[in-house]
Amino acid sequence: MKKLFTVALAGCIAVGGCLAFAACDGGGGSSDYDHTIVFYSSQGDALTSVTDAAIQAFEAKYPGWHVDHQQPGGYDEVLSKVRSDLTGGLQPDLAYCYADHVAQYIESGTVVNMNQYLKNANSYTYTVDGTEHTIDRIGFTDADVASFIPGYMQEGYASNYTGYNTDDPNALITLPFVKSTELLFYNPDALDTLGVEVPTTWDELWNICEQARNTWDKCTPLGYDSEANWFITMSEQLDFDYTSTDANNHFLFKNKGAEDWLTEIAGYYGKGYITTQQIYGSYTSALFQKGPAEGGLVFCIGSSGGASNQAGIGFTTEVAPIPGVDATHNQCISQGPSLVMLSGGHSPSDPNEKQIMTFQFIKELLDVNFQAKFAKASGYNPMRSDVYAVDSYAQFLEGVDPETGDDLTGAQLVVSKSAKAATALTERFYTSPAFVGSSTARQQMTSVVQRVLLGQRDAKTALEEAYKNCGGK
């Protein structure tokens, strides 16, 4: 494993190598690799227009520097593009990432430990066209860092990864950008008809599913939009093994606890209580929008980042945390893009300066007011707690349009409710190990749940096949 070469600069320790510009003119970029930050994201047009504000703020604050924001596609396309670029030394300076992605970048030795910049109080002076410009402080203030939500920050530490600077488990190799979690979207009219409260445990939910099927024979009470998330979350709630950072024993999901849970939910599927994204053939939010009498759902478990798709037709969607086994075994997943810095590439004349300036752009993306604007536009939750005190975002969370003062309606109201519900769940988040192959394990869990529910495999056989498909023996 390559080690990151470090040198001292301006009183800080900087990782050696350089941060590269991935394409000379892609995305409206510049050929001045010394003064262009290349940023890959999976943002669509609506969100890139929001991110333009952070880019403009950066370029105004740091004359002579520019950002080339490129969108290769979705998360998988960003991963493929970065991996391809790494083989030619053309990787970006900054990229959207999931932990699974970063596990695949570590081997290249280009992933930057951002601890050296995070709270760095040193100033820095750079020169462009003969003119000096001084940055008062390289890093965030202590107050800024104190506002970063610990449950989101946890994913970025090297201790969660296999193969990165194992002598420094506190190395910070990703920073959260915005995050989502899974929530229980429900039809309150259906619960009123059944005379039941919102379920907080799985046992309560299954009891309501039985009542719903007895009341509406066309109804499938529960839709779950991610089979893999369901399996991984239940491994946390029920405390059965999933994966490990142990390089000699990564895949632990072939166990009795997993078998028992899969067998249980297969029984509920047989009773008509469940559908999933793979079985339905699309996100189950499309079914949720219908009423149960029309063959729709009563509950849909999906991402808070996709809350705008959960607006009911003929009823007002409500939102709650996903059920737990009980009040203490109620973990829920944290998802959404983080940011990874990469060194190497086109070898700018001052690679340390390139990294320092890339971190200044990160500061713009994590600025409290920009985070409020982006969170409102995207439906994702901000990565820092002080965003909730920003007046426009506080109004949004209370269901008020901060621009007009009118009450939110429709999809925007669901997004507001979801963001508010997710704010209370940070203590319930968990972090899964990341390593080369962890994304394969996740893909296999999607297949395991689907096959067991459909009766194509019993639980034990499905897990054994998944284990072999992950390279286990």
- When pLDDT is cut at 50, 70 and 90, the band that residue 3 belongs to is very low
Please report the pLDDT score of residue 112 as a whole number: 95
Calpha distance 301→218 (Å, rounded): 19
CA torsion sign, 441 to 223 to 78 to 418?
negative
Tell me the mean pLDDT in the region 455-464: 98
Tell me what pLDDT residue 4 has: 32
Share the mean pLDDT of the chain.
90
Measuring CA to CA, how many Å separate 172 from each of 53, 142, 164, 435? 26, 16, 10, 16
Look at residue 168 in the predicted model and tell me its pLDDT.
Answer: 83
**Given this model, what pLDDT does residue 338 score?**
96
In percent, the amount of the chain with pLDDT more than 70 equals 92
Domain 6-177+337-377 identical in fold to domain 180-335+412-469: yes
By mean pLDDT, which of 60-69, 82-91, 346-355 is the weakest? 346-355
Separation CA 222–CA 321 (nearest Å): 14
**Which position has the higher pLDDT, 345 or 302?**
302
**pLDDT tens-place string over residues 131-172:** 999 999 999 999 999 999 998 999 999 988 887 876 788 899
Instruction: Place 345 in a pLDDT band, splitting at 50, 70 and 90.
Output: low
Query: What are the CA-CA distances from residue 275 to residues 81, 220, 269, 283, 285 (Å)?
Result: 34, 7, 7, 10, 11
Greater model confidence, 10 or 149: 149
The DSSP output letter for 322 is P
The Cα–Cα gap between 350 and 362 comes to 19
Better-predicted residue by pLDDT, 12 or 423? 423
CATH 3.40.190.10 given to domain 180-335+412-469: yes
Distance, in Å, from the CA atom of 371 to the CA atom of 389, rounded to the nearest integer, reads 12
Band (pLDDT 50/70/90 cuts) for residue 13 is very low
Please report the pLDDT score of residue 473 as a whole number: 60
Q: What kind and span of H or E run contains 421? A: helix 410-423
| Tokens representing residue 39 in the block | 């940023």
* pLDDT tens by residue, 176-231: 999 999 999 999 999 999 999 999 999 999 999 999 999 999 999 999 999 999 99
CB 230 within 8 A of CB 444: no
- Where residue 31 falls among pLDDT bands split at 50, 70, 90? low
Q: What pLDDT is recorded for position 472? A: 80
* Cα 152 from chain centre: 9
Q: What is the mean pLDDT of residues 50-72?
A: 96
Report the range of poorest mean pLDDT among 140-144, 244-248, 260-264. Answer: 244-248
Question: Is the CATH number 3.40.190.10 carried by domain 6-177+337-377?
Answer: yes
Q: How confident is the model at residue 412 (pLDDT cuts 50, 70, 90)?
A: very high
Chain segment 232-243, per-residue pLDDT in tens:
999 999 999 999
Whether the per-residue pLDDT at 19 is higher than 70: the answer is: no
Residues of the chain with pLDDT > 90, as a percent, come to 77
22 pLDDT band, cuts 50/70/90, is very low
Q: What is the pLDDT of residue 37?
A: 95
Domain boundaries, the chain: 6-177+337-377, 180-335+412-469
d(CA 206, CA 212): 10
- Residue 384, amino acid: R
Q: What pLDDT was estimated at residue 159?
A: 87
